[in-house]
A and B are shown apart, each in its own frame.
Chain A
Amino acid sequence: MHDSPNIPLEDFTSDGSVLANWLGSFWTQVFTQPDLVINLEQGHALNLAQVYLDFLESVALLNRRDAPVFHRERWTPIVLKKSEQNTGKGNLLRTDMVPAPYIGPQPENTPYPPGRIFEIGGHAEYENTTSYPLDAAVVDVITCVTDNIMSPTRILIRGIDYFVRDSTLFFLRDGDPFNSGVFPVRDIDGDEEVLLWACNTLVDKSMIYEHVGYVLSIHRPKSTAFYKAMLNGLWDMYNMGTPLRWFASGVGAVVGEPTVLSDGEIVEVILQETGVQLVVTDKQVYRVHKNATLRAAVVPDGVLNTGDFLTESVRVYDTLDPLKLAACSEFSERLKTDAFSLFFNKDWLRAPVKRGVGASWDVQDIVRDGADADGNSRLRFKLYGPQEDIDIFWADFWAYLESHEMTSETCFQGYLDGIVVPVDGAVYGRVAPLEYFMRYFMRANAMIVLIERDKLAVPDKQYDPLLALNHLKEVVPAHVVVFVIEQRTLGPDTYDLSGVNHSAELMYATTAQETISHGGPSATTATYMVRPPAIRWIPTCKE
Chain B
Amino acid sequence: MSALTEITQEQYNTAEATVIDLLRAAYPNLDLRRGTVLRDLLLRAGAQITARDTNLMAELKGKQSLLTLAENEATADADDINAVLANFNMARLTGTKAAGTARLLVSADRTYTVPEGFKFVSVDGLEFELVATTVASSTPDTSAGNVQLYTSDDGTYYYFFVEVIAVEPGAAGALVAGSALDVSAALYGFVSAETYSSFTSGTEDETITEAIARLPAAVSYRALESRTSIEAKLRDAFDGGAFTIEDIAVRGYGDSAQLRDKHNPMGFAIGSRVDIYAKTFTRPNRVLIQKTGTLIGVNTYQIDLAAADVPGFYAIRSVSDIEQTTAPAVGFGELPTLGSYAFSEVRSSSGVNDTFHDIDKDVTSEIAFSVWQKSVVVVTGVPSANVAREFKIELYTAPGLVALQDYVDSADIRNLEADYVLRCPLICMVEVQAIAYHSAAYPIDLGQMKTNLAALINTRPFGYILTRSEITNQMISDGATRIDLSHGTGMELKGQVIDGNGVRHELTGDALDIRVVEDTAALLVPETVVFGVEEDKLSIEVIAE
Q: Note whether A and B form a binding pair.
A: yes
Contact among B60, B213, B221, B274 with A479 in the assembled complex (CB-CB below 8 Å)? B274
Known A-B contacts A47-B19, A404-B265, A441-B266; the reply to A241 vs B221 at CB < 8 A is yes
Stretch from B62-70, B196-204, B293-301, B502-510 at the A interface:
B62-70
Contact assessment for A475 and B226 in the assembled complex, using a CB-CB cutoff below 8 Å: yes
Contact assessment for A346 and B520 in the assembled complex, using a CB-CB cutoff below 8 Å: yes
Contact assessment for B25 and A350 in the assembled complex, using a CB-CB cutoff below 8 Å: no
Chain B: minimal CB distance from A528 (Å):
15
Contact assessment for A55 and B57 in the assembled complex, using a CB-CB cutoff below 8 Å: yes
Stretch from B104-112, B252-260, B424-432, B439-447 at the A interface:
B252-260
Q: CA separation between A479 and B252, bound complex, in Å?
A: 5
Chain A: minimal CB distance from B228 (Å):
5
Closest to B420 in A: A478
Contact assessment for B57 and A54 in the assembled complex, using a CB-CB cutoff below 8 Å: yes
Stretch from B46-54, B186-194, B320-328, B388-396 at the A interface:
B46-54
CB 8 Å contact bits of A31-72 with B (1 = contact, 0 = none): 001011011101110111011001101100110000000000
Known A-B contacts A58-B57, A148-B21; the reply to A349 vs B268 at CB < 8 A is yes
Chain B: minimal CB distance from A491 (Å):
33
CB 8 Å contact bits of B11-22 with A (1 = contact, 0 = none): 000010111111
Contact assessment for A397 and B219 in the assembled complex, using a CB-CB cutoff below 8 Å: no
Whether A266 is near chain B, meaning CB under 8 Å from some CB there, is: no
Whether B27 is near chain A, meaning CB under 8 Å from some CB there, is: yes
Whether B230 is near chain A, meaning CB under 8 Å from some CB there, is: yes
Chain B: minimal CB distance from A167 (Å):
19
Q: Which residues of A contact B47 (CB under 8 A)?
A: 47
Contact among A43, A411, A437 with B22 in the assembled complex (CB-CB below 8 Å)? A43
Whether A406 is near chain B, meaning CB under 8 Å from some CB there, is: yes
Contact among B30, B219, B223 with A215 in the assembled complex (CB-CB below 8 Å)? B219
Size category, B interface: 35 or more
Whether B42 is near chain A, meaning CB under 8 Å from some CB there, is: yes
Q: Which residues of A contact B23 (CB under 8 A)?
A: 36, 39-40, 43
Whether A179 is near chain B, meaning CB under 8 Å from some CB there, is: no
Q: Which residues of A contact B514 (CB under 8 A)?
A: none
Size category, A interface: 35 or more
Q: Which residues of B contact A77 (CB under 8 A)?
A: 17-18, 21
Question: Lowest 10 A-B CB distances belong to which pairs?
Answer: A350-B267, A43-B19, A445-B271, A478-B252, A481-B254, A54-B57, A350-B262, A47-B50, A43-B22, A35-B26
The contact sample of 14 A-B pairs, CB cut-off 8 A, is: A36-B30, A42-B22, A46-B18, A48-B50, A54-B58, A210-B68, A214-B215, A216-B216, A351-B267, A397-B265, A441-B268, A475-B228, A478-B253, A479-B252
Q: A346-B256, A442-B271 are in contact. List 13 more A-B contacts (CB 8 A).
A: A36-B26, A43-B21, A50-B50, A61-B64, A150-B22, A151-B26, A197-B21, A214-B65, A216-B219, A241-B226, A445-B270, A477-B226, A478-B274
B61, B253, B418 — most chain A CB neighbours (10 Å): B253
Q: CA separation between A242 and B265, bound complex, in Å?
A: 31
Contact assessment for B22 and A149 in the assembled complex, using a CB-CB cutoff below 8 Å: yes
Whether B212 is near chain A, meaning CB under 8 Å from some CB there, is: yes
Chain A: minimal CB distance from B262 (Å):
4
Q: Which residues of B contact A40 (CB under 8 A)?
A: 19, 22-23, 42-43, 46
Contact among A148, A400, A441 with B269 in the assembled complex (CB-CB below 8 Å)? A441
Contact assessment for A400 and B22 in the assembled complex, using a CB-CB cutoff below 8 Å: no
Q: CA separation between A485 and B486, bound complex, in Å?
A: 47
Whether A480 is near chain B, meaning CB under 8 Å from some CB there, is: yes
CB 8 Å contact bits of A141-165 with B (1 = contact, 0 = none): 0000000111100000000000000
Q: CA separation between A43 and B30, bound complex, in Å?
A: 15
A38, A39, A195, A437 — most chain B CB neighbours (10 Å): A39
Chain A: minimal CB distance from B244 (Å):
20
Q: Which residues of A contact B520 (CB under 8 A)?
A: 346-347
Q: Which residues of A contact B30 (CB under 8 A)?
A: 36
Q: Which residues of B contact A348 (CB under 8 A)?
A: 254, 268-269
Q: Which residues of A contact B68 (CB under 8 A)?
A: 210
Q: CA separation between A150 and B57, bound complex, in Å?
A: 26
Q: Which residues of A contact B274 (CB under 8 A)?
A: 478-479
Contact assessment for B268 and A214 in the assembled complex, using a CB-CB cutoff below 8 Å: no
Q: Which residues of B contact A442 (CB under 8 A)?
A: 270-271
Contact assessment for B227 and A441 in the assembled complex, using a CB-CB cutoff below 8 Å: no
Chain B: minimal CB distance from A132 (Å):
19
Whether A474 is near chain B, meaning CB under 8 Å from some CB there, is: yes
Q: Which residues of A contact B364 (CB under 8 A)?
A: none
Q: Which residues of A contact B215 (CB under 8 A)?
A: 214-217
